[in-house]
Amino acid sequence: MEQSWQLDNPILGLIVVGATFVLFYIVGFISNRQSKSAKELYVGGSNVGAITNGLAMAATYMSLATFLGITALILQLQVPFIMLWIQLILAIPLITIIYGTSLRRMGAFSPTHFIRDRYGTTASIIAALFMILVSIMYALGQMIGIAITFETLLGIPYITGLFIFGILIVGYITIGGMAGATNNAAIQMVIIALMFIVPLAAIMKAIGASGWYFPPLLYSDMVPAMMDALPSFFDYQFSPKWYFSIIPALTIGALGLPHLAMRVYTASSLKSARSAMVWFAFILGLVFSATYAMGFVGVFATTTQGVTISDGDADKLTIILNMVYNPEWVTALVIAGAISAGLSTLSGNLLAIGALISQDIISTLKPNISQRLNLRIGFIAIFAGGIASILLAINPPAFLVVSILWAFGLAGVTNAPLIIVGVWWKEANKFGAIAASVVAGAIYIIVSPFVFPSIVLTGHAVTDGMGLSGAMLAVPISFILLIVVSYITNRMPALSGKLTKQADIELIERIHGWKDIKAYRYNSTIGAGITVVVSAAVAIWALMPWGM
Amino acid sequence: MKAYKKEVQFTIWMTAAFILVGNVGLIFSIFPVEAMLFGFPVMYIVPILMGWFGVFLLTLIAGKIGNRIDDEIERENETIGHADEAKEV
């Protein structure tokens, strides 16, 4: 018989979740009383300290998937999914060293802000539209997850939960702005870490693991029993090509996510941004390792302890394990932790949508509107983005985490190459940027299983669905188009009047910290050539049979 | 010239190092290892440890070098300012 997992006492769950909401509202209200300009709204006045920012970076990144989706995919894919997830920790360090500090120096609100200054209006609006799509997909995933949590665990009907809590959340983000979101995200990170790791320790103690006092790493005494019960758990299953495809899809993909990059711009100084990345790596590594332990314990419990979890309930593994092994009040705290994880990511997404619409689209098209009106448009855009994700979540698509990971690839194809090459190569121009974003973006969408299910690269549902195969083809194509089209159009006299070469050169020198201009800097044709050759090799490899 | 070279080389090598320590699973998929470490299969625990402590260590190094290169760029800017006030190529 299928068991339905729900708290016996939903009031307890509601009280705990309600208390956390009140806390977030108060912090948001206090933090944002001074938010009078767009700069304060989107980047918290650029004066956030390193520890707060590092924690907020980690919370923004750690979505509801930490509690709901990842453990389910570990249950389904086992070790390959853990290997895939590990490299996600590279996001903030790579953003910081490759372009984050440069864009912070420039004073950008969002990555698209840089694209506008670097490549002009058309390219930036195309990039902003893709980024809004990415942010909405991401926000939608959180919204669905939050409503499902309320539905399945507290017994509140999905639509009711979606609207009531959705509007409460959108309200708190709109009131709080970035300063509120940053302070709240730092608090949420502490809640996430505690509500995930402490209950996991209790579960491990109940199962009899001797290393329960440090759950992220000390569960090796369960390994022999696991190897007896499920010898295939540690198998890599897939070819090196599958593991390689993670780099273009997710490592480069994360470099194009606007809500992550915006966290770097909130830093009070470049030194502080670099310290924040250290805190980010430490805390994210801790919680990620605990997630793998939770997935391991879940597989262990289902294979050796007689706990049965149906396929439909796989997403709830973390919460089910708590229900089986811990008292109910602990599960209520875990649910509050899961909601916090969703909230922090959602607030990052909605702020990104607000910045994209008001700064990157409306201000670009109408540069002369007043600061006051611009700020008001920002608040409206954040609110409207939230409402849009609530409305889209009424009829939710299946497979939460898979579609979020697909959105990583879209960011990697349409945005990341424009920023990376734009920061490091003076020759990159708007024709290259537009070609790269539009053509490679279209290829990525076409080979995804969502539009034309028959046109896919591998036929392996999860690999195509997560965008691994599509990004391995489209990300290198995007780099090639950007470099080759720019190189050719720069040498066409007919087009020289339409390019802003001198302004581009000055911008690049300035964001790297130089006060003068030198022709040899950021101008390597050999570097660009090597990038094209390597990209071409990767794209050809992606087209060859995957053998899956 | 010196600070510029350092900045470019630092970014390339640091990016490569980060990608490598974050994707140890890729290396093991090419060169499988059967051994055990700390009670776990090496191919399971080493990518997890590198993905946490390896990345953490690299962020410390990247932060230190990044700050130093910023200072060097600043110093080169000052010498340019003293030599001539030129802003052009």
**How far is Cα A514 from Cα A457, in angstroms, rounded to an integer?**
45
Asked if the Cβ–Cβ distance from B66 to A244 is below 8 Å, we say no
Read off the DSSP letter of residue A175.
Answer: H
Q: Is B56 a member of any domain? A: yes
- Rg of chain A on CA atoms, in Å: 23
Q: What pLDDT, on the 0 to 100 scale, is given for residue A134?
A: 85
Cβ neighbourhood burial of A494 (10 Å; 0-12, 13-18, 19+): exposed
CB contact B58 to A (< 8 Å): yes
The per-residue pLDDT of chain B, averaged, comes to 86
CB contact A289 to B (< 8 Å): yes
Beta bridge partners of B37: B40
Task: Give the closest residue to A531 by CA, choosing from A408, A431, A436, A430.
Answer: A436
DSSP per-residue codes, A2-51: PPP---S-HHHHHHHHHHHHHHHHHHHHHHTTT--SHHHHHHGGG-B-HH
Q: Angle A77-A332-A314 (CA atoms, 0-180°, nearest 5)?
A: 20
Q: What pLDDT, on the 0 to 100 scale, is given for residue A30?
A: 77
64-83 in chain B: CB under 8 A from chain A: 66-67, 70, 73-74, 77, 80-81
Q: Is B9 a member of any domain? A: yes
Residues of B in contact with A252 (CB under 8 A): none
CB contact A517 to B (< 8 Å): yes
Asked if the Cβ–Cβ distance from B52 to A94 is below 8 Å, we say no
85-104 in chain A: CB under 8 A from chain B: 86-87, 89-90, 93-94, 96-98, 101
Counted residue by residue, chain B has a size of 89
**What residue segments make up the domains of chain A, in order of their start?**
41-543
**How far is Cα A169 from Cα A299, in angstroms, rounded to an integer?**
33
Q: What pLDDT, on the 0 to 100 scale, is given for residue B30?
A: 93
Task: Give the closest residue to A487 by CA, choosing from A412, A431, A536, A423.
Answer: A431
Q: Is B46 a member of any domain? A: yes
pLDDT < 70 positions in chain A? 1-5, 32-47, 109, 176-180, 396-400
**How far is Cα A237 from Cα A243, in angstroms, rounded to an integer?**
10
Asked if the Cβ–Cβ distance from A517 to B89 is below 8 Å, we say yes
243-272 in chain A: CB under 8 A from chain B: 243-244, 246-247, 251, 270-271
The yes-or-no verdict on residue B85 having pLDDT over 50 is no
Name the band, by pLDDT with cuts 50, 70 and 90, for residue B88: very low
For A41-543, the fitting CATH number among 1.20.1730.10, 1.20.140.10, 3.40.50.920, 3.50.50.60 is 1.20.1730.10
Q: Which ipTM did the prediction report?
A: 0.89
Helices A400-414/A69-77 angle, 10° precision: 100
Asked if the Cβ–Cβ distance from A234 to B44 is below 8 Å, we say yes
Query: Which residue segment(s) compose the domain that B45 sits in?
Result: 2-83
In a mutational test of the A interface, the residue from B14, B15, B40, B56 whose CB has the highest number of chain A CBs within 10 Å is: B56
Task: Give the closest residue to A232 by CA, choosing from A71, A80, A459, A83.
Answer: A80
Residues of B in contact with A547 (CB under 8 A): none
CB contact B43 to A (< 8 Å): yes
- Four-CA torsion A547, A238, A253, A391, nearest 10 degrees: 90
Name the band, by pLDDT with cuts 50, 70 and 90, for residue B89: very low
Q: Is B89 a member of any domain? A: no
Distance from CA of B11 to the nearest CA of A (A): 6
Q: What pLDDT, on the 0 to 100 scale, is given for residue B86?
A: 46
Distance from CA of A253 to the nearest CA of B (A): 13
Q: Is B13 a member of any domain? A: yes
Domain total of chain B: 1
Which residue of chain B comes nearest to A244, CA vs CA?
B26
Task: Give the closest of A87, A240, A520 to B30, CB-based.
Answer: A240
Q: What pLDDT, on the 0 to 100 scale, is given for residue A331?
A: 84
pLDDT in tens, B48-80: 999 999 999 999 999 999 898 888 888 888 887
pLDDT in tens, A446-503: 998 877 878 788 878 788 888 899 999 999 999 999 999 999 999 988 888 888 888 8
Contact A368, A234 (CB under 8 A): no
